[in-house]
Structure 1
Amino acid sequence: MRLLIKKPSRLGLVVFFFLIILFSLLILSNSLSHFRSILSDNLHGGKKPLENIIIVKIDDYSIEKIGKWPWDRSIFAELLKKTEDAKIIGLDLSLFEPSSNDKSLIKALKEMNNVVLASELTEEGLNAPIFNLPHHGYVNLNADSDGVIRSIEKYDVDYLPFSFAIYKFGWNERALFENKKFFINFISKPESFSFINAYDLLDSNPNFKDKIVLIGVTAPNLHDAYFVPTSNGVAMSGVEIHANILQNLILDNFVEKQSRISILLFVFFAGIFGMFLLSQIRINYTIPIVLILLLAYILNSIIIFSRFNYLLDLFFFPIALLSFTGAGIGVNYLEEKKQNLHIVNAFGKYVNKDLLKEILSRKRELRLWGEKKNITVFFSDIRGFTTLSEKINPEDLVSLMNYYLTEMTKIILKNKGTVDKFIGDAIMAFWNAPIEEKDHSYLACKTAVEQIQILERINKELSRKNLPSIKIGIGINTGEAIIGNMGSEERFDYTAIGDNVNIASRLEGLTKQYKSNIIISESTYNAVKNRLKCKKIGLVNVKGKKLPVNIYELIVR
């Protein structure tokens, strides 16, 4: 697998910044928090509850055995007496209105001094318990838009949440509940803590020394249950949610979420990596690499959450990686299509179909905007063309030229040459560019021989059309030249320039003087002498060269 880093195109940059802005707006607006929360919910659970947290549940069984709800408050007094040796007791019950039998409960509360009662925040203010105790906390739980409880926060500056009031009273009197949102680290599915139902408690004498006891309703008909990240379709009682919060406070392991700025940075790097790196790899490599990266990210997120209670965003980074990679592939496809069209327009008429396919398949290796390269240059010219053009009418001249140039071009293309240009009756071509061709000198000479050989057939056809026969001269030189797209901003061609190009042209001019069909330079001769028959002409002065050079006639058999 070979990765060539390309300079980003204008379209690629536009798409990149468009997606960056789009993701930034989505992240900063928090508009997709619902989907993000659903994904992160799956990370919760798999932890053990603290053994010293006990929940006394008022369930359907207890109500069936003890009697219809609401119970006489003397029963609550009995429950408190059964748990009086606990370190602290949280009574998650609505005791906001007096009843006919409050005396026994008041007596129990005054004697114990380790009970935190439940209060409730309403639009009118605080609904405090009727018993004038200093320790109470509001039990309000606010669900997200999808009805799931995921966090707790300070809803009123003057009052504390129920679980924090228990923590402050039992562990740290100096603790301050910060004015921010705390994300609850749910330990496991509903009913994972140690439970005992109220009826069984009244009928036994368990030891609650050093325990934290929470008393609350769990019966479904009493409507104090909520969906949480670990619910899996089963609601969790409010008292158990408070137990989870209390455990988070004791262990200091609330969930810390990735900040929006951090998510933006992740998206930015996903954009660069996906759009400008992954998208340049072959598609059959890109898909597995993306899948491996996503899997690695998810596995790391699980490990980080499990060990450090830090929640990496599971929505934006994967979506960004997929989006930017997909966009990069799309942009590259359009750019490649545009580049292919440019190459076809540039070379379609000047190279054969097989060579064009090779150019397209190896276009990343092309250097179309200028390079020095060893090539073989070919020039051919019709002898006496000026005289010929004066003897026949324009229509016949055009017909002759089109027929001749077509036949000559076919031979050049067949031998993997690049037709540079037609200059009147002259043809310029070269080999070894844009695609490397080791045998370029031989192929150029082979082309020249075949063109001379086919002249007999061409002249017969011209004779049949009552057109004059023609003779040509060909000059070939091998050497370094500058190759690339040259021209104006409106129009340019892929061509070759330099002294070695000029020498090939001048060798063609010498064919008439030496009465030869094909003259080649010494550099070309050295490349083909073991394969083609050549005859040394001798030293000649060539314009552009200070010293005379050897030239050779290529013999046509």
Structure 2
Amino acid sequence: MAVVAFALAIVKPAEIVQFELKSLDFRFIARGELTPDPRVAIIAVDDDALSEIGRWPWSRDKIAEVVDKVLGKYGAKALGFDMVFSEEQANVVDEALRLLNQNVTDVYGDNAAGHMQWLKSQRSFGDVDAVLEGTLIKHRDKLVPGYFFYSQAAGAPDLVKSKLEEEAALMRSLAMTSSFSKEALHSLPHIAAIEGNIPRVTKAVDAIGFFNFFPDPDGTVRRIPLMVEMDGYVYPSMAMQTLRMFLDWPEMSVVVGDVGVEEVRLGPLNIQTDATGSMLLNHYGPGKTFAHYSAADILNDRLEGDELKDKVVIFGVTAVAVLDIRATPFDPVFPGVEAHAVAISNILNGEELKRPPAVEVIELLMVFFLSLLAGYLVYGRPPAIQGLIIVGLPVIIVGTSQWLFTSHNIWIEETFLIVGVLLTTIPTALLGYIAESRKRAFIHDAFSHYLAPSVVENLAKNPDALKLGGEEKHITAFFSDIASFSTFSEKLTPSELVTFLNRYLTAMSDIILEEKGTIDKYEGDAIISFFGAPVDMDDHALRCVVSAIRQQQRLAELREEWKAEGLPEVHVRIGINSGPMVVGNMGTNTSMNYTMMGDHVNLAARLEGVCKAYRVPILMSKDTYSEVRDHVAARFIDRVRVVGRSQPVDLYQPMALRIDLADEQQQEFRAYEKAWSLMLHGDYKASLKLMTKLYAMSPHDGLYEVMMARLKTYIHSPPPDDWTGVFNLKNK
């Protein structure tokens, strides 16, 4: 997807470009308004001026009067026209002569010829173009008439196209100093036809300039062309020419290379443009951000003496009825004349928006590598982290973009960076979500039959807690089996046996699951389970032992029920051991089971069988006892070496939670431990005496009978002198 993002940044689809332009507008709004250069002002033919002076267009002598007062009386340094004088204004004397000529004899009789001759002698008074021409000549080095050009001949009127050679001849001396490569001519906008001023206007001044705008596809003015090309010559805009006059006529030059405009200079000023010679406007605010002076106030001498002194002035129409309105990021009804003022102020202060070629190259690289980085950052991360990255990276991009825009007037196309981030992060996150959902479904299917629902839910939410294939974990193994199952099963029909076992297994399994245990498997009447996997538990040993105690308590209740129903009484043996074991999905690719294996598993199984030898319901190893001794009261049973294991193990019988243990029981446990200690040290008779006493107190405790029989044997056939108390079991 990073490659796709990179390709989009190169191709620049119109939809993404349009979104980027809107985001650029938002950057203007977020930055807020700025104060423009106070040396730039607008002379406006506004609605008030039309109401006071009359409808537009005004007579050329009125225009001349405004210009003369602005540059003369009020002392402006340079003036640019955002208007064109493309046709001669009708001479009112000529119009009077035409009308009188139709019926002059009827009006003047024999004196008609004399009157007509006199009227012709007054013709110069009706030539208002001459008045304007005279004013232009008077201030020729301070003002720039504007003109409009057509970039395609197909859209130009025939009359305009027919005057192209004449207009070109008049303009040629006004071209910029330029340097072209052979392939560069097509980089700049091309003049196909000119809607120019009448020749007497063009010849009366030292400079002219075009005032075209090229709005973006959405109609918003964000840039202004500073130059155009015709017949190998480069011609500057009205704004450039006016600024040149204001700066006392510095040299104006352009270098156009193979990829477009490379450098535009106006004296000491280096102007940033795009490849076509257009400058990105750094708008200061909505309409009338610049100082506006009504042309009516100029004509009627209502300005203070120095309001326009030494300023650069753009003379144009802002009246709504004339419709010279543009859309900008700040204002949908922005006066077109003010856009030229924005350009001049930008250039004067080096405030134009910048997109140097280096920025475009860096953007392309950033689109690719940031997309890769974003995809890497979300891959395999938790949803919260993914969401933070998916939202956070675009926020960082927008923040950085806004900072560059506000502090350095640099425009970076943040939309392509954001698109690149989203193209890699969202699909990656979605694919991860799908994979995670499948993993959760697998976990649910795999564990729902032998894990508590809460444990399954926890695993589904945190699948990383499960490592499929096998891992070593410190857990507690549980083995249980019904004593003499074969004997009592013979007393039941198969149907009764199944019903009985289901009832028993359900009761025992419910307790295991309530204690968050994992049921490994059922083998007939046997239950094999473990605690501490697949979900880690710090108290796995305690939960396992509590589960065993609760099962024996529940069995006591069930025995009463079964007895009342005429069913056999059932006793269950349980073996427990804690230690490192391997747990995981074992089996084949098509059939597997989440199970445990290892030496400590085997020991737990052996302890279940050892219960029979000591006639106790539960046995746990010392490893388990050391983990639960603070919470569970247990009595020491013996030190044995089970079949198949060389290392001896101390056996303990969990009796109850410590908070539930009676003092009498505690005293009995200590008495037994004393008797066992006497046996260990070879005082078998004293040990037998104490064991006999304990048996008399608890005749139903089979452990005492077992130990009494062993002590009687030791009295007649004592163990070796180096005996360590280990009893070697011969049966599993």
TM-score tier by shorter-chain length is: 0.7 to 0.9
Residue of structure 2 in register with 1:546 after alignment: 646
1:200 and 1:49 map into 2 onto residues whose CA distance is 23
Query: Could you tell me which amino acid in structure 2 is paired with residue 268 of structure 1?
Result: S
Deviates more, 1:509-518 or 1:404-413: 509-518
Residue of structure 2 in register with 1:151 after alignment: 223
1:198 to 295, 307, 315: 295
Residue of structure 2 in register with 1:268 after alignment: 371
Once the two structures are TM-superposed, the CA of residue 295 in structure 1 deviates from its matched residue by: 7.4
1:117 to 142, 145, 156: 145
Q: Give SS of 2:340's match.
A: helix
Once the two structures are TM-superposed, the CA of residue 427 in structure 1 deviates from its matched residue by: 1.5
Residue of structure 2 in register with 1:518 after alignment: 618
Residue of structure 2 in register with 1:30 after alignment: 14
Once the two structures are TM-superposed, the CA of residue 431 in structure 1 deviates from its matched residue by: 2.1
1:165 to 241, 246, 266: 241
Q: Deviations over 1:308-341 (max 9, x none)?
A: 2223557667788899888888777666655554
Query: Could you tell me which amino acid in structure 2 is paired with residue 477 of structure 1?
Result: N
Q: Is the 8 A contact 1:275 1:325 kept in 2?
A: yes
Residue of structure 2 in register with 1:41 after alignment: 25
1:336-485 to structure 2, matched below 5 A, reads 338-353=438-453, 355-356=455-456, 365=465, 370-385=470-485, 393-455=493-555, 458=558, 470-485=570-585
1:175 and 1:344 map into 2 onto residues whose CA distance is 75
1:87 to 61, 77, 81: 77
Q: Give SS of 1:475's match.
A: strand
Instruction: Note if 1:239 corresponds to 2:337.
Output: yes
2:496 and 2:10 map into 1 onto residues whose CA distance is 71
Deviates more, 1:197-206 or 1:268-277: 268-277
Query: Could you tell me which amino acid in structure 2 is paired with residue 236 of structure 1?
Result: F
Q: Give SS of 1:532's match.
A: strand
Indicate how the Cα distance of structure 1 residues 274 and 118 shifts in structure 2: closer, same or farther if over 3 A, else same: farther
1:458 and 1:299 map into 2 onto residues whose CA distance is 70
Structure with bigger helix share is 2
1:148 and 1:480 map into 2 onto residues whose CA distance is 72
Once the two structures are TM-superposed, the CA of residue 460 in structure 1 deviates from its matched residue by: 6.0
Once the two structures are TM-superposed, the CA of residue 459 in structure 1 deviates from its matched residue by: 5.2
Q: Give SS of 2:229's match.
A: coil
1:551 and 1:209 map into 2 onto residues whose CA distance is 108
Residue of structure 2 in register with 1:254 after alignment: 352
Q: CA RMSD in A?
A: 4.2
Query: Could you tell me which amino acid in structure 2 is paired with residue 190 of structure 1?
Result: G
Residue of structure 1 in register with 2:40 after alignment: 53
Q: Is the 8 A contact 1:263 1:316 kept in 2?
A: no
Q: Give SS of 1:311's match.
A: coil
Deviates more, 1:385-394 or 1:137-146: 385-394
Q: Is the 8 A contact 1:279 1:328 kept in 2?
A: no
Q: Is the 8 A contact 1:537 1:553 kept in 2?
A: no
Residue of structure 1 in register with 2:186 after alignment: none
Once the two structures are TM-superposed, the CA of residue 499 in structure 1 deviates from its matched residue by: 0.6
2:61 and 2:549 map into 1 onto residues whose CA distance is 119
Query: Could you tell me which amino acid in structure 1 is paired with residue 371 of structure 2?
Result: F
2:16 and 2:76 map into 1 onto residues whose CA distance is 44
Q: Is the 8 A contact 1:279 1:332 kept in 2?
A: no
Indicate how the Cα distance of structure 1 residues 263 and 36 shifts in structure 2: closer, same or farther if over 3 A, else same: farther
Instruction: Note if 1:126 corresponds to 2:194.
Output: yes
1:497 and 1:62 map into 2 onto residues whose CA distance is 98
1:119 and 1:28 map into 2 onto residues whose CA distance is 33
Q: Is the 8 A contact 1:477 1:524 kept in 2?
A: yes
Q: Give SS of 1:350's match.
A: coil
Q: Deviations over 1:465-488 (max 9, x none)?
A: 776555443222222112233333
Deviates more, 1:99-108 or 1:60-69: 60-69
Q: Deviations over 1:417-469 (max 9, x none)?
A: 32111123321112233344444434433433444454455456666777655
1:175 to 241, 250, 253: 253
- How many residue pairs get aligned? The number is 535
Indicate how the Cα distance of structure 1 residues 238 and 525 shifts in structure 2: closer, same or farther if over 3 A, else same: closer
Query: Could you tell me which amino acid in structure 2 is paired with residue 188 of structure 1?
Result: G
Residue of structure 2 in register with 1:136 after alignment: 208
Deviates more, 1:30-39 or 1:427-436: 30-39
Q: Deviations over 1:360-397 (max 9, x none)?
A: 66665555654433222111223444566677554344
Once the two structures are TM-superposed, the CA of residue 342 in structure 1 deviates from its matched residue by: 3.8
Indicate how the Cα distance of structure 1 residues 264 and 318 shifts in structure 2: closer, same or farther if over 3 A, else same: closer
Q: Deviations over 1:49-102 (max 9, x none)?
A: 322223222234444444443333233333333315543321222112233422
Indicate how the Cα distance of structure 1 residues 20 and 501 shifts in structure 2: closer, same or farther if over 3 A, else same: farther
Query: Could you tell me which amino acid in structure 2 is paired with residue 249 of structure 1?
Result: I
Indicate how the Cα distance of structure 1 residues 270 and 49 shifts in structure 2: closer, same or farther if over 3 A, else same: farther
Q: Is the 8 A contact 2:441 2:460 kept in 1?
A: no
1:464 and 1:319 map into 2 onto residues whose CA distance is 75
1:103 to 100, 125, 130: 130
Indicate how the Cα distance of structure 1 residues 48 and 265 shifts in structure 2: closer, same or farther if over 3 A, else same: farther
2:329 and 2:629 map into 1 onto residues whose CA distance is 83
Once the two structures are TM-superposed, the CA of residue 218 in structure 1 deviates from its matched residue by: 2.3
1:450 and 1:192 map into 2 onto residues whose CA distance is 84
Q: Give SS of 1:144's match.
A: coil
Deviates more, 1:327-336 or 1:54-63: 327-336
Once the two structures are TM-superposed, the CA of residue 121 in structure 1 deviates from its matched residue by: 0.9
Residue of structure 2 in register with 1:229 after alignment: 329
Q: Is the 8 A contact 2:371 2:423 kept in 1?
A: no
Residue of structure 1 in register with 2:319 after alignment: 219
2:282 to 185, 191, 206: 185
The normalised TM-score by structure 1 is 0.79
Indicate how the Cα distance of structure 1 residues 386 and 46 shifts in structure 2: closer, same or farther if over 3 A, else same: same
1:279 and 1:162 map into 2 onto residues whose CA distance is 59
Indicate how the Cα distance of structure 1 residues 420 and 76 shifts in structure 2: closer, same or farther if over 3 A, else same: same
Indicate how the Cα distance of structure 1 residues 538 and 240 shifts in structure 2: closer, same or farther if over 3 A, else same: closer
Indicate how the Cα distance of structure 1 residues 23 and 464 shifts in structure 2: closer, same or farther if over 3 A, else same: farther
Q: Is the 8 A contact 1:152 1:181 kept in 2?
A: yes
Residue of structure 2 in register with 1:12 after alignment: none
Q: Give SS of 2:529's match.
A: strand
Residue of structure 1 in register with 2:635 after alignment: 534
Deviates more, 1:167-176 or 1:329-338: 329-338
Query: Could you tell me which amino acid in structure 1 is paired with residue 334 of structure 2?
Result: M
Q: Is the 8 A contact 1:274 1:322 kept in 2?
A: no
Q: Is the 8 A contact 2:508 2:551 kept in 1?
A: yes
How high is the sequence identity, in percent, across the aligned residues? 28
Q: Deviations over 1:150-175 (max 9, x none)?
A: 21236842333221233345544233
2:329 and 2:406 map into 1 onto residues whose CA distance is 15
Query: Could you tell me which amino acid in structure 2 is paired with residue 52 of structure 1?
Result: R
Note the residue ranges of structure 2 that are not aligned, 5 or more in a row: 92-126, 157-192, 255-263, 265-272, 657-700, 702-732
Q: Is the 8 A contact 1:168 1:175 kept in 2?
A: no
Query: Could you tell me which amino acid in structure 1 is paired with residue 252 of structure 2?
Result: R
